[in-house]
Chain A
């Protein structure tokens, strides 16, 4: 079996590749933003000796009298908002709820009462339901859910009160930065190339084979464990590599960009997509096609 090895090489700064520059005021912690005391201080700043000083690294945003520093680096954690679709992994099973890891600062919560019962029944959850919780979702399971509410400390409460949410079966998970997932009307996409994708707002992207029939009774609990065909597997692997290459080149993820990237990658072998030069080429082509489509 032939193997290819490469020595680590310094990454070319992407700003050169894109040939763009920023006009924003960039700061690092300790920098003085302004000595004018007329401003209100927002996130990322603190007052020290009559000067407004930055406490995170980022760009200064000014809205009328409010100055805050928006940290690019902080956006690697997901901040929940009501109505977002997220994909999460169960970390704990507690008394009447599950703790879900959604790449945010605090673990999210899925209450038992926010979960659909099998068969879609509507009734009060009893003690037996509580004891049977582990039968529904165990530690390590992946679920898709929607954000119901956000607590004051930033923790997020999820719900799966619809048949399209629930436990996820066979597929591939890609973890990306939440800032790269574009907000759209729907995050569940059935791509024409033969696979489906869920773009979680928290940065978890789930790629899975398109189910042939939508099972109404299951309510999202019974995962589909039928064997996945080779062609489907290849499509899913290629999609996964495309997503990874888009993310490395810091492009926004949405159904059109993933689809264009998939089409641009067809001439290459699946494993070649992860090579840096092939990645650049594919993403460049995707960028051009997207620009053409917009303009």
Chain B
């Protein structure tokens, strides 16, 4: 799926070999007796950023992103229903650079990953509390901006990433690593929340259409 801008994400899920939900192999000591373990891996394709990256796995940004995704989805997935199992979510953003002068508007990696992963988990039939819709927001020149592009991110202002459970309005993850005056926080948060709700409308419509079609074909 692609968000406004050109960040595209591909999420891997159900396939007989790389099962999304499967029994824990290997280190069984990690298995939780009453819940499922959620494991998220973020790996960027070598052509995804401005310079070609040789090591797409294991670097700090990937690990951190994986951890954030894991926290987000642990809050959303009903893990009590699948004890001693592991849920793997592999996300790989695909982002091409068109030319060297004009960088594509392609910020908001975390948001794209979360939205794509929500669809993947839904498609796998894993019970979730609600959709998880995410969006980034920032504050530039006294205005709160939602869904920052790469240029806006690079400008150096504060950036906030928000993952929302739209039906209940609960926040799954809120992350910011810059300094922002607390008076502005409310505006930025509201902008991000509104954008996340817009994403939710879109995802909701697509999923309903898909379920509608599936029910016609199978449900008779």
Which residues of A are at the interface with B, using a C-beta cutoff of 8 A? 13-15, 18, 20-22, 24, 26, 28-32, 44, 46, 48-49, 53, 55-59, 71-77, 101, 103, 105-107, 153, 155, 175, 179, 250
B169 vs chain A, min Cβ distance (A) = 11
A71-B125, A72-B218, A77-B125 known; A46+B78 contact, CB < 8 A: yes
Contact (Cβ within 8 A) B218 A29: no
Contact pick for B16, options A26, A49, A101, CB 8 Å: A101
Count A-B contacts at CB 8 Å.
113
Cβ contacts under 8 Å, B167 to chain A: 30-32, 53
Contact pick for B214, options A55, A72, A77, A106, CB 8 Å: A72
Cβ contacts under 8 Å, B219 to chain A: 22, 24, 59, 72
Cβ contacts under 8 Å, A14 to chain B: 213, 216-217
Residue B151 is within 8 A (CB to CB) of chain A in the complex: no
A57-B122, A59-B219, A175-B16 known; A26+B211 contact, CB < 8 A: yes
Contact (Cβ within 8 A) A29 B213: no
Cβ contacts under 8 Å, A179 to chain B: 218
**Can you give 5 A-B contacts (C-beta < 8 A)?**
A21-B216, A30-B166, A57-B210, A59-B211, A106-B22
Assembled-state Cα–Cα distance A48/B165 (Å)? 13
Cβ contacts under 8 Å, A105 to chain B: 19, 21-22, 85
The segment from B55-63, B95-103, B126-134, B141-149 found at the interface with A is B126-134
Cβ contacts under 8 Å, B1 to chain A: none
Contact pick for B212, options A18, A26, A55, A56, CB 8 Å: A26
Cβ contacts under 8 Å, A59 to chain B: 211, 215, 219
Residue of A nearest to B209 (CB): A13
Residue of B nearest to A76 (CB): B14
Contact (Cβ within 8 A) A72 B211: yes
Cβ contacts under 8 Å, A77 to chain B: 14, 125
Residue B207 is within 8 A (CB to CB) of chain A in the complex: yes
A29-B129, A76-B125 known; A58+B211 contact, CB < 8 A: yes
Q: Encode contact with A along B166-201: 1 for CB under 8 Å, 0 otherwise.
A: 111000000000000000000000000000000000
Assembled-state Cα–Cα distance A49/B122 (Å)? 22
